[in-house]
């Protein structure tokens, strides 16, 4: 049996325990909220460098396509059965090499027949000449009628005309006989044969037998747009557009200076091929707004084939103290090309730039930079315009490290804490 007083004490203790438990739970919850509070990440680290300065040659760059200097479709010019094919498909052939032979026997017979006709007409002319001379002499002696003289004069003249016609037929027969031999007009590479031995060719048409191209040198055609043409100015435009001399293809008003061109293939980084401009069209195409131009490039190893996509550049002047930034530091958006700079407050700024020539992995900046900015050269994907960053100046060897100066002005790059 419990006393009334003891029951009150128990209830009081239970109440105190509940209060203490609530206080403890509240404290634990507060500690947990504090531990889970959001902590902003540190600014991203980026590698920065000052733009380089150097004298460079400024170039205009173009895209173009290669074409053979000479291309000929070998065709049958006379009718006959194809008797020989004297090359392998795709092989190199030499000038004067016999490529195809059409059965010559019918044409040889025609030559002999025409030759006999010439002999016959020559004999006729000889007889008419002798008879005319005889009757002409007798007529002067009053021993022959004038009509006889006239008759043999006509016969002589007719024989002369007939002989000329026979000689022409003989010449044509010899030409046709020569056409049975299709020879290479120049050194080059021949494609596949389009007609096999035994087929009738030249029947009603000049049958296409194969195609031969000359690959050394090789042409590269490209287009200069109207704006670039106008930017070159009257002097440069005249220099590029002047007619080439026949001997060396020199392009200038005086014919004394060759416009050098560099060319690279699609799988090459640089421009290893050296050539020169040898043709500029007479006017700008109004449909495309471009001027067609052509360069000639040596191709002794025949590696460059017609129809290849090529990159071409032409020098247009010197820049004495060009601003150069690494190619990897350049980004592209809808507005064009840009670079990221980091100021003294370590805030990233996006700067739109106009670019020029690529030289050894660096681009010439024609507009948009002063040249004393810190450029983000690594870590572009981690920053954007207006955000803070932790800049790390690039060493001379291209790695990250300490530098003598930094965007924040100290000997070490400023770090955000």
Architecture of the CATH domain 77-102+183-206? Beta Barrel (2.40)
Which pLDDT belongs to residue 359? 84
Mean pLDDT of 88-104: 96
User: What's the chain's average pLDDT?
Assistant: 83
pLDDT of 1 > 80? The answer is no
Which fold would CATH assign to domain 60-68+213-318?
Elongation Factor Tu (Ef-tu); domain 3 (2.40.30)
Mean pLDDT of 139-160: 84
> Of the segments 12-26, 47-61, 92-106, 232-246, which one has the largest average pLDDT value?
92-106
Alpha-carbon torsion 16, 22, 26, 29, what sign? Answer: positive
Which pLDDT belongs to residue 412? 42
**What residues pair up with 388 in beta bridges, in sequence order?**
347
Element (H, E) at 336: strand 336-342
**What residues pair up with 363 in beta bridges, in sequence order?**
325, 358
pLDDT of 405 > 60? The answer is no
pLDDT of 341 > 70? The answer is yes
Q: Where are the domains of the chain?
A: 46-59+320-393, 60-68+213-318, 77-102+183-206, 104-179
Q: Do the Cβ atoms of 194 and 221 come closer than 8 Å? A: no
Q: Which residue, chain included where needed, has tokens 């200069």?
A: 224
Mean pLDDT of 291-296: 92
SS3 50: coil
pLDDT band of residue 38 (cuts 50, 70, 90) is low
Q: Please tell me the distance from the alpha carbon of residue 348 to that of residue 379, in angstroms, as a whole number.
A: 12
pLDDT of 188 > 70? The answer is yes
pLDDT of 26 > 80? The answer is no
pLDDT of 249 > 90? The answer is no
pTM value is 0.67
Q: Do the Cβ atoms of 338 and 351 come closer than 8 Å? A: yes
Percent of the chain with pLDDT over 90: 56
pLDDT digits (tens, 9 = 90+) for 348-393: 999 999 988 888 889 999 899 999 999 999 988 989 999 999 999 9
393, HSE (Cβ side, Cα atoms, 13 Å) = 20
pLDDT band of residue 413 (cuts 50, 70, 90) is very low
Mean pLDDT of 47-75: 93
Mean pLDDT of 314-342: 91
pLDDT band of residue 247 (cuts 50, 70, 90) is very low
pLDDT band of residue 153 (cuts 50, 70, 90) is confident
Mean pLDDT of 221-237: 73
DSSP type of residue 404: S
Architecture of the CATH domain 46-59+320-393? Beta Barrel (2.40)
Mean pLDDT of 83-109: 96
CATH class, domain 104-179, is mainly alpha
Which pLDDT belongs to residue 246? 32
Which pLDDT belongs to residue 239? 43
Which pLDDT belongs to residue 29? 60
Task: Between 134 and 341, name the one with better pLDDT.
Answer: 341
pLDDT band of residue 314 (cuts 50, 70, 90) is confident
Task: Between 300 and 141, name the one with better pLDDT.
Answer: 300
Q: Can you read off the two tokens belonging to residue 119? A: 């002999």
Least confident of 26-40, 76-90, 95-109: 26-40
Which pLDDT belongs to residue 137? 82
Nearest to 97 by CA among 175, 181, 215, 193: 181
Q: Do the Cβ atoms of 109 and 80 come closer than 8 Å? A: no
pLDDT band of residue 250 (cuts 50, 70, 90) is very low
pLDDT band of residue 311 (cuts 50, 70, 90) is very high
Which pLDDT belongs to residue 243? 35
Q: Do the Cβ atoms of 95 and 186 come closer than 8 Å? A: yes
Which pLDDT belongs to residue 397? 56
Which pLDDT belongs to residue 411? 41
pLDDT of 336 > 50? The answer is yes
Which pLDDT belongs to residue 408? 57
């Amino acid at each position: 049996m419990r006393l009334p007083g003891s029951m009150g004490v128990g209830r009081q203790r239970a109440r105190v325990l509940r209060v203490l438990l609530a206080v403890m739970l509240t404290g634990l919850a507060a500690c947990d909220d504090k531990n889970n509070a959001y902590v902003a990440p540190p600014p991203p680290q980026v590698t920065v460098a000052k733009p380089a300065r150097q004298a460079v040659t400024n170039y205009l760059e173009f895209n173009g396509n290669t074409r053979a200097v000479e291309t000929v479709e070998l065709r049958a010019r006379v009718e006959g059965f194809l008797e020989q094919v004297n090359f392998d498909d795709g092989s190199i052939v030499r000038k004067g090499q016999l490529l195809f032979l059409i059965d010559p026997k019918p044409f040889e017979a025609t030559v002999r027949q025409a030759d006999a006709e010439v002999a016959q007409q020559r004999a006729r002319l000889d007889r008419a000449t002798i008879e005319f001379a005889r009757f002409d002499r007798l007529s002067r002696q009053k021993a022959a009628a004038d009509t006889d003289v006239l008759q043999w004069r006509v016969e002589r003249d007719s024989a002369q005309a007939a002989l000329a016609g026979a000689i022409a037929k003989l010449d044509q027969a010899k030409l046709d006989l020569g056409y049975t031999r299709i020879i290479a007009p120049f050194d080059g590479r021949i494609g596949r044969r389009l007609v096999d031995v035994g087929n009738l060719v030249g029947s009603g048409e000049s049958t296409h037998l194969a195609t031969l191209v000359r690959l050394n040198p090789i042409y590269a055609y490209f287009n200069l747009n109207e704006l670039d043409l106008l930017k070159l100015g009257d002097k440069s435009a005249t220099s590029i557009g002047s007619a080439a001399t026949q001997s060396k293809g020199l392009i200038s008003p005086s014919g004394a200076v060759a416009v050098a061109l560099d060319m690279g293939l699609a799988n090459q980084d640089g421009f290893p091929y050296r050539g020169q401009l040898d043709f500029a069209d007479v006017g700008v195409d109004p449909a495309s707004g471009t001027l067609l131009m052509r360069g000639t490039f040596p191709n002794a190893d025949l590696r460059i084939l017609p129809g290849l996509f090529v990159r071409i550049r032409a020098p247009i002047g010197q820049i004495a103290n060009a601003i150069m930034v690494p190619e990897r530091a350049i980004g592209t958006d809808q507005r064009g090309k840009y670079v990221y700079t980091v100021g003294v407050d370590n805030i990233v700024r996006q700067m739109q730039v106009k670019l020029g020539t690529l030289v050894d992995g660096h681009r010439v900046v024609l507009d948009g930079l002063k040249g004393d900015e810190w450029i983000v050269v690594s870590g572009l994907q981690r920053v954007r315009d207006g955000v803070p960053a932790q800049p790390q100046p690039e060493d001379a060897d291209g790695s990250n490290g300490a530098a003598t100066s930094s965007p924040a002005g100290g000997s070490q790059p400023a770090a955000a804490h």
